[in-house]
């Protein structure tokens, strides 16, 4: 069964129940007799005010519950009027309009006068000027219901009230279902759009998660590269420090050897030895002798430079410096 069929079934059932309750109420209602005629006395405003004030001071009352008006309520009111002129009837579980109907019915059945309806649930009644206690047939009229039938009537009345509240709600739901059935295409398109939106949201979520994974992997790679670069830099710094120490050692050794060479070459003392000693002999041509000395000194210098191993050390120094520069560039 579809939702529309279920709603139709409930609506038909509620309408049948309403008809059944109305029929049962008609059966249980007593037949009205034309014998009871209510002819209330006319009260002056002063009398009305006096009896109303007296009723508010008195504490006697008659309760009316869910059963409503039945034989026991009428009998109880007449028993109160035996000693009191007024009586208060407290009505419960009834609406203000129903309370007004109950007041009119009580005045017709008892022959009293309704003075006022206080706070919409309390009926104040006066027995009348020429009141005398009626016979038992009037105190418990047959036109009223018995206690049991009054209870059954209250049950039927409550059920009818609930069914009449439910029928409009079911009719409204049925109209909504029919309106939805007339627009199936629109509903389908809306469902498709909703599914598309949901899929787009899922894809966007997955894309964001994939981007986050890629970013995390890239960060890891960058961190690893940075660590490798730090290690390489530390190694290169150590190598540069060692190379700089070697170069400093080389230049220190060169600087230490240079002053010794200079000290040895200062003042050309070896050339002085070549001058002739002071003897009795004098050279024939002094200028030729000086020229010969200078030539000998030059030849000695060239032989000295060729024979010294300092040239090989200098070459090694430059070769080592060139290799260190190549390593730095790499």
Residue 237 has pLDDT above 60, yes or no: no
Provide the domain count of the chain: 2
Going by pLDDT thresholds of 50, 70 and 90, the confidence category of residue 187 is low
* Residues 252-262 pLDDT 10s: 444 444 444 44
Which run of H or E residues covers position 105?
Answer: helix 96-110
Per-residue model confidence (pLDDT) at position 296: 74
In a domain, 239, yes or no: yes
Asked if the structure places residue 105 within a domain, the reply is yes
Specify the pairing of strand 113-118 against strand 86-91: unpaired
Q: What pLDDT is attached to residue 328?
A: 73
Q: What is the pLDDT of residues 133-147, one digit of tens each?
A: 888 777 878 778 888
What is the predicted pLDDT for the residue at 258?
A: 47
CATH code for position 129: 3.30.110.60
Shared-domain flag, residues 79 and 136: yes
The DSSP secondary-structure symbol of 90 reads E
Domain around 302: 227-329
Question: The whole model's pTM is what?
Answer: 0.51
pLDDT in tens, 80-105: 999 999 999 999 889 999 999 999 99
Distance, CA of 253 to CA of 39 (rounded, Å) = 151
Q: Do residue 60 and residue 136 come from a single domain?
A: yes
Q: Does residue 196 lie in a domain region?
A: no
Give one DSSP letter per residue of 130-165, joined into a string.
T--PPPHHHHS-TTS--HHHHHHHHHHHHHHHHHHH
Residue that terminates a domain, selected from 146, 164, 180: 180
């Amino acid at each position: 069964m579809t939702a529309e069929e279920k709603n139709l079934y409930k609506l038909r059932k509620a309408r049948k129940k309403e008809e059944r309750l109305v029929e049962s109420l008609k059966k249980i209602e007593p037949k009205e007799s034309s014998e009871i005629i209510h002819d209330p006395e006319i009260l002056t405003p002063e009398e009305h005010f006096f009896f109303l004030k007296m009723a508010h001071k008195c504490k006697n009352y008659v309760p009316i519950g869910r059963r409503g008006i039945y034989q026991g309520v009428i009998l109880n009111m007449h028993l109160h009027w035996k000693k009191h002129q007024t009586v208060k009837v407290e009505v419960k579980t009834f609406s203000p309009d129903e309370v007004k109907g109950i007041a009119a019915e009580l005045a017709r059945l008892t022959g009293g006068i309704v003075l006022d309806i206080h706070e919409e649930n309390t009926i104040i009644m006066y027995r009348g000027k020429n009141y005398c206690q009626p016979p038992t047939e009037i105190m418990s009229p047959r036109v009223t219901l018995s206690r049991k039938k009054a209870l059954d009537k209250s049950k039927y009345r409550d059920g009818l009230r609930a069914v009449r509240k439910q029928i409009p709600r079911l009719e409204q739901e049925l109209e909504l279902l029919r309106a939805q059935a007339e627009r199936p295409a629109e509903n389908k398109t809306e469902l498709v759009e909703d599914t598309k939106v949901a899929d787009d949201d899922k894809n966007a979520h997955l894309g964001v998660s994939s981007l986050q994974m890629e970013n995390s992997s890239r960060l890891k790679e960058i961190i690893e590269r940075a660590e490798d670069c730090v290690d390489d830099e530390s190694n290169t710094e150590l190598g540069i420090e060692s190379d700089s120490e070697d170069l400093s050692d080389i230049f220190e050794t060169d600087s230490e050897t240079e002053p010794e060479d200079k000290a040895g070459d200062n003042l050309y003392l070896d050339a002085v030895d070549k001058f002739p000693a002071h003897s009795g002999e004098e050279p024939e041509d002094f200028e030729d002798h000086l020229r010969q000395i200078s030539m000998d000194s030059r030849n000695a210098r060239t032989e000295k430079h060729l024979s010294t191993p300092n040239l090989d050390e200098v070459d090694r120094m430059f070769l080592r410096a060139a290799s260190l520069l190549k390593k730095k560039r790499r």
